[in-house]
């Protein structure tokens, strides 16, 4: 088992701002999941995943339940998931995931952020070919035998298993699978009685761009600018 390094920079917000951003993101994901698969987590794997992620960031249960009820209302906002691609300074590729109820507003804001940060917004497919969309599951290491787990999950689509650390510097185990195998790996973990700390999709770079500290700071400022937009869920990069 090797060490897996995270490729998505943690948001730079203060703790409470970051928490509010995460609650908003997960709230949108809950609405999308409920509209697609219904309000019962027992029969809606996407909603179960949202509930797991809500718990991992400390989102209160009543807020999760409120989001589910909101999704069932007639006047609920409909969110559209849109992917934007572009380049930051120094040739670093960025993939920006958004969930929006107004794509005209979102594209304008994303484009402005790229321009102000010294980057450029590209067309669909302009940089995503440099990434691989994967399912990423994060587990507590307690009570888990990584070698045995790796062998048991290969048939469910597991491609990588390794160690990493979370935002608090605590050790975690990270599992990765192809995006198409996300559901089967989630089901396999559930059948083994393992509840992940989080279960999400990420864009993992297939190639990286080496940058020095000064260049990395420039890129990070653009990422921070993008992440501060209310419609932006996640930003992925290929800085080496």
| CA separation for the pair 129, 64 (Å, rounded) | 35
- CATH number, residue 112: 3.30.70.980
How many Cβ atoms are within 10 Å of 107's Cβ, its own excluded?
16
Q: What is the extent of the structural domain holding 107?
A: 80-129+206-237
If we measure between CA atoms, which residue out of 239, 194, 235 comes closest to residue 215?
239
* Whether residue 123 is found in the same domain as residue 168: no
Asked if 204 contacts 162 with a C-beta cutoff of 8 angstroms, the reply is no
Residues 32 and 142 in one domain: no
User: Is residue 156 a part of any domain in this protein?
Assistant: yes
The per-residue pLDDT for range 91-122, each reduced to its tens digit, is: 999 999 999 999 999 999 999 999 999 999 99
Considering the domain architecture, whether residues 134 and 199 belong to the same structural domain is answered as yes
Domain final residue pick, 72, 92, 109: 72
pLDDT top residue among 22 and 17: 22
Residue 135 shares a structural domain with residue 196 = yes
Residue 180 token pair:
């198409």
- Nearest alpha-carbon partner for 161 in 148, 174, 147, 149: 174
CATH number for the domain spanning 59: value is 1.10.10.200
Per-residue pLDDT tens for 158-215? Answer: 999 999 888 778 899 999 999 999 999 999 999 999 999 999 999 999 999 999 999 9
Residue 137: inside a domain = yes
Q: Model's pTM, two decimal places?
A: 0.86
């Amino acid at each position: 088992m090797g060490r897996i390094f995270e490729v998505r920079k943690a948001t730079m917000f203060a703790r409470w701002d970051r928490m509010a951003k995460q609650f908003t993101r997960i709230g949108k994901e809950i609405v999308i999941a409920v509209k697609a698969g219904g309000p019962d987590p027992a029969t809606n794997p996407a909603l179960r995943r949202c509930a797991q992620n809500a718990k991992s960031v400390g989102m209160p249960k009543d807020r999760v339940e409120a989001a589910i009820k909101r999704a069932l209302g007639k006047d609920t906002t409909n969110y559209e998931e849109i992917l934007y691609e572009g380049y930051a300074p120094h040739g670093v590729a960025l993939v920006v995931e958004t969930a929006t109820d107004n794509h005209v507003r979102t594209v304008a804001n994303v484009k402005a952020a790229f321009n102000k940060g010294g980057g450029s917004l590209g067309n669909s497919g302009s940089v995503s070919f440099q990434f691989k969309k994967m399912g990423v599951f994060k587990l507590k290491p307690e009570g888990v035998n990584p070698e045995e787990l790796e062998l048991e999950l290969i048939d469910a689509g597991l491609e990588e298993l390794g160690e990493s650390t979370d935002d608090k510097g605590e050790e975690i185990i990270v599992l990765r699978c192809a995006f198409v195998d996300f559901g089967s790996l989630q089901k396999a973990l559930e059948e083994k009685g393992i509840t992940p700390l989080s279960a999400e999709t990420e864009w993992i770079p297939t190639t990286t761009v080496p940058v020095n500290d000064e260049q990395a700071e420039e890129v990070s400022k653009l990422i921070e600018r993008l992440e501060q937009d209310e419609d932006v869920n996640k930003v992925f990069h290929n800085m080496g």
